[in-house]
Structure 1
Amino acid sequence: MTTTSEVTATGVDERSLRSLRRWNLALTALHLGQAVAVVVLATDFAITITQTLPTGPPGSAPASPESLVDLPIGATIAVFLLMASLDHLLTATVARRTYERDLRGGINRFRWVEYSFSATIMVVLIALYSGIVDISALIGIVGANVAMILFGWLQESANPPGSPTRTMKPFWFGCVAGAAPWIAIAANLVAAEEVPGFVIGIFVSLFVFFNSFALNQWLQYRGIGPWRSYAFGEKAYLVLSLVAKSALAWQIFAGSLAS
């Protein structure tokens, strides 16, 4: 009798695994090249992260914000690009066997670990550009975004290939957690008297890309069209990761790092 753990995810065969290795090697080079270019070309532009502390009992007027640290934007962009490059390098080389075994089991733990860091850095950058610079608010945004990513991991863990039942609860819980940072960012942009056009462009484009990741997973678990193949969904994640990271990096570069 075949057990659930012995069932291979649809579309994950030797041919697709060889193709994915080539994709991961290519994305290693593309992310690394962009990281180097950003570091070389960017200015020393930084955004100050602040802290606002209470001055008395609840209801007292808060103190003026205090500067905590100046976050260098060029270096921060390079960090999330380098994280993606390292992830793809590992899955194509030293961690290839584990990566491919996981794909056969309908999961990619490397993806979720990398997204927990890189996608969260990206959301923090978008928040900073919308004017959310208080450390307490940023910590909340980090927590919500990491929770969203981990719910994505749980969605895959809860639905191994061959499982007689399927649940979408982790997916929908992740959508709830992931919506919080974007609502906070949108509220700031709407309330602001003036917002540069490129900041609006960053918000809109990255909002679309982030939701495309969710759509990709939803299509996988609904088995719609080519998404019936887990390998196809994996390639879609690779493309979305490259495009989203590149879009954020170069929109920020064009808007504030090149001057």
Structure 2
Amino acid sequence: MPSSALHVARTGLEAQDARMRVIANNLANVATTGFKRDRANFATLAYQDARVAGQQSSNETTYATGLNLGTGVGVQSTSRIETQGSLNATGNSLDLALDGDGYFQVQLPGGQLGYTRAGNFTRSADGQLVTTQGFAVLPQIAIPEGATSIAIAEDGTVSVSIAGEAEATQVGQITIASFANPAGLQAAADNFMLETGASGPAQIGIAGENGRGNIRQGMLEGSNVNIVQELVDMIETQRAYEINSKMISAVDEMLRNANQTL
């Protein structure tokens, strides 16, 4: 029994360590544009069934309850919480936020497609709309030289005003990717998500249509990390870690006393 309890306590330590790592990552990204917080999910490990409810207790009766001993806890998965962060005005015409569901599309090195909620875009040397890393936003938008202002409508239509021309010129339209299961996207570095079999293929469409969010120019979406909630979760995790640590010490003492007695 003591050795089994020691195993259970050790799985508890490992689980709480994983949970603390998730919380630490959430807090580290509290100011990251478009960041979505993660949550650790746990599941009980296999039970040792010393007696199963319903087994014969005599020739005429059965056990009403069983004798099941748990073997601890394991980290089952992490879930990304997709709730929207606050929209913050920046005044920068190339800062874009999605008010609702969906992702901006980006051409990553090697031809892979990335998806992001971080719309802090800029212009490259040749006038292309790119991320801060220099990756092209898709569909590619070329802003001509001499553009004095850039207007991006809620549906993603990009228009520019050019010195000497009376009317604005439309230069393209930013489309939005949506997924059947956005929680199935794989998180990557630099605020990008990657398509997986669990997310389903990207469904490309116009902002504001079929459940996709509208584009807000001159704004950025903040992270959805709630600092107060994360601190509460951190305290709870610390307490659970301490309790499991004390249990390990107590079981070690029990085993030491048993060895000395025997």
TM-score normalised by L of structure 2 = 0.24
TM-score normalised by L of structure 1 = 0.25
Q: Give the strand-richer structure, 1 or 2.
A: 2
Task: Report which of the two structures shows the higher radius of gyration computed on alpha carbons.
Answer: 2
